[in-house]
């Protein structure tokens, strides 16, 4: 019997390595564009509402005018828009507040008859670099490999709670706003660049500030759903002690948001990239547990733009990127919508991630990403 344990461990390790091997791809990033997006069937969404996240900073990075980009996107018949209050843009200096850009975006979405989920931050919000604390609130960089909590960063927590309350108080009378998002992937490390993490208690106090300012609307928290074994193992290790953002969301939020990226690059060299492709990975078990957590569930970020081994999603003439081709906009949507098939309650919404990229592609002569999105809206 004593020999069985090492044998079982070896078998388990071999099984894990085999699983990882099936999820690794090596490919040229640039792939020929095809008409596959025109032939891919579109799943019926039932009661799930569709929408986008809008990133004005990403639009500007692509050389687009953010206001014009938003107006262009609002010409499509989806129902929801997720916007964000970026702390360092709203409070560029101590005692100075500038809500002008966010006011204009909220006004535009409301005028188009769409509903809004507003991410109030404070420390993290969606869109690169995902960290938007004004420098006057962090005279020292947040320390790596540390939990950021009330004990270590009391003044930051106090300021963060003040900011989220101020945002909610400003917009709580807007009927177009249906939910507040607190933080972004709240207790996960900030990508691979940083290892500090917000504590669950830090986030809980921000949530309390939002609920005090507006007890009538639900709180959304989102988290990254690992789709491959290497990412799942890494995330479990990096978030040990208090769980990852999905764990905390199921404890603290009214709505749990899933960020779903089934294919992404992790390295590039000599014209080829290494990708993790977990579209059929063991994450399915985690997904099922989310549907039984007793919370409303939505997909906050369904991958619809490339995730390559660079910060800015590449766009090259006449080709698409391996991590997200136009047909993958439909494939990822279909995969998530089919989660409803074995769920007691259907997911409430599916938000596409990458709308600004579609406009960039259209400007450069490739409307296929936008056309794939339009097919979903028309045929689902």
**The pair of three-digit structure tokens given for residue 121, joined into one six-digit string:** 């931050």
**What pLDDT, in 10s, does the model give residues 81-126?**
999 999 999 999 999 999 999 999 999 999 999 999 999 999 999 9
Residue 18: pLDDT band (50, 70, 90) is: very low
Determine the pLDDT at residue 232: 85
Instruction: Report the distance separating Cα 127 and Cα 148, nearest Å.
Output: 21
- Closest to 262 (Cα-Cα) out of 310, 332, 192: 332
- Segment 245-258, tens digit of pLDDT: 999 999 999 999 99
pLDDT tier at 7 (50, 70, 90 boundaries)? low
Residue 366: C-alpha distances to residues 76, 223, 310, 360 (Å):
18, 31, 21, 9
Q: Residue 332 pLDDT more than 80?
A: yes
Percent of the chain whose pLDDT exceeds 70: 93
Per-residue pLDDT averaged across 123-150, rounded? 95
What is the predicted pLDDT for the residue at 212? 98
Q: Which of 342, 252, 248, 257 is nearest to 298 (CA)?
A: 257
Give the pLDDT score at 1. 42
H helix or E strand, kind and range, residue 369: helix 368-379
Dump the DSSP string for 178-219. Answer: EEEEESSSTTS-STTT---EE-HHHHHHHHHHHHHH-TTSPE
pTM for this structure? 0.93
Q: What is the pLDDT of residues 262-303, one digit of tens each?
A: 999 999 999 999 999 887 665 566 777 888 778 899 999 999
> Which pLDDT belongs to residue 282?
59
Q: Using an 8 Å Cβ cutoff, are 253 and 221 in contact? A: yes
| pLDDT, the chain, mean | 92
**List of domains in the chain:** 24-379 (3.20.20.80)
Closest CA to 199 of 190, 214, 187: 187
């Amino acid at each position: 019997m004593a020999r069985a344990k090492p044998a079982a461990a070896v078998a388990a390790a071999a099984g894990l390595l085999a699983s990882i091997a099936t999820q690794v791809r090596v490919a040229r990033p640039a792939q020929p564009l095809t008409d596959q997006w025109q032939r891919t069937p579109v799943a019926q969404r039932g009661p799930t509402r569709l929408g986008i996240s809008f990133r004005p900073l990403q639009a500007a990075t692509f050389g687009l005018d953010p206001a014009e980009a938003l107006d262009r996107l609002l010409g499509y018949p989806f129902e929801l828009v997720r916007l964000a209050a970026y702390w360092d843009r709203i409070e560029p200096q101590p005692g100075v507040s500038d809500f002008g850009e966010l006011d204009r975006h909220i006004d535009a979405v409301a005028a188009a008859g769409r509903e809004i989920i507003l991410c109030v931050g404070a420390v993290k919000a969606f869109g690169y670099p995902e960290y938007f604390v004004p420098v006057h609130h962090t005279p020292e960089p947040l320390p790596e490999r540390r939990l950021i909590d009330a004990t270590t960063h009391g003044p930051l927590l106090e300021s963060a709670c003040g900011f989220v309350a101020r945002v909610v108080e400003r917009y709580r009378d807007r009927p177009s706003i249906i939910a507040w998002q607190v933080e972004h992937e709240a207790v996960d490390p900030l990508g691979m660049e940083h290892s500090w993490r917000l504590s669950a208690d830090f986030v809980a106090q921000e949530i309390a500030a939002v609920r005090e300012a507006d007890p009538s609307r639900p709180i959304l928290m989102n988290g990254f759903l690992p789709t491959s074994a290497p990412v799942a193992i890494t995330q479990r290790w990096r978030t040990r002690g208090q769980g990852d953002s999905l764990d905390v969301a199921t404890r603290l939020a009214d709505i749990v948001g899933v960020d779903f990226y089934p294919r992404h690059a992790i390295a590039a060299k000599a014209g080829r990239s290494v990708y993790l492709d977990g579209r059929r990975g063991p994450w399915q078990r985690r997904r099922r547990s989310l549907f039984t957590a007793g919370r409303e569930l939505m997909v906050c970020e369904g991958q619809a733009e490339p995730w390559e081994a660079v910060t800015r999603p590449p766009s090259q003439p006449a080709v698409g990127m391996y991590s997200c081709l136009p047909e993958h906009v439909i494939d990822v949507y279909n995969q998530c919508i089919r989660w409803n098939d074995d769920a007691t309650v259907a997911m409430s919404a599916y938000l596409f991630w990458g709308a600004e990229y579609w406009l960039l592609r259209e400007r450069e002569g490739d409307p296929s990403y936008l056309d794939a999105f339009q097919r979903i809206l028309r045929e689902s």
